[in-house]
Amino acid sequence: MVGGLIITVPTIIAVAGGWGEIVANVPESHMSATGGLTTIQMIGYLLPSLFLLLGDQNMYQRLASSKGNKSAKRAQMGWLIAMLFISPSISVIAFASRSLFPDIDPGMALMATTVAMPVAVGGILLAAAASFIITTGNSYLLSAATNLTYDLYGKYVNQEASDKKLLTMTRIFIVGLGLFAFVIISYFPTVLSVQMYAYTVYGAGLTPAVLAVFFWKRVNAIGGVSSMIAGVVATLTWEVLLQKPFEVNSVVVAVPVAVIVLIVGTLLTTNSNQQKREVA
Hey, is 26 helix, strand or coil? coil
Judge whether 57 lies within some domain. Answer: no
Tell me what pLDDT residue 272 has. Answer: 54
- Whether residue 275 has pLDDT greater than 60: no
Judge whether 214 lies within some domain. Answer: yes
List pLDDT tens digits, range 10-59: 999 999 999 999 999 988 888 888 888 888 888 888 888 888 888 888 88
Can you tell me the distance from the alpha carbon of 236 to that of 231, in angstroms, rounded to the nearest whole number?
9
Angle 80-84-88 from CA coordinates, rounded to 5°: 150
Can you tell me the distance from the alpha carbon of 40 to that of 46, in angstroms, rounded to the nearest whole number?
10
Same domain? For 84 and 20 the reply is yes
Judge whether 108 lies within some domain. Answer: yes
List pLDDT tens digits, range 194-214: 878 888 888 888 899 989 988
Same domain? For 180 and 259 the reply is no
Tell me what pLDDT residue 192 has. Answer: 74
Judge whether 45 lies within some domain. Answer: no
pTM of the predicted model, to two decimals? 0.75
- Domain of 199 in residue numbering reads as 189-274
Distances (CA, A) of 24 to 30, 37, 96: 11, 20, 11
Judge whether 112 lies within some domain. Answer: yes
Judge whether 43 lies within some domain. Answer: no
Judge whether 210 lies within some domain. Answer: yes
Judge whether 168 lies within some domain. Answer: yes
Same domain? For 210 and 249 the reply is yes
Total domain count for the chain?
Answer: 3
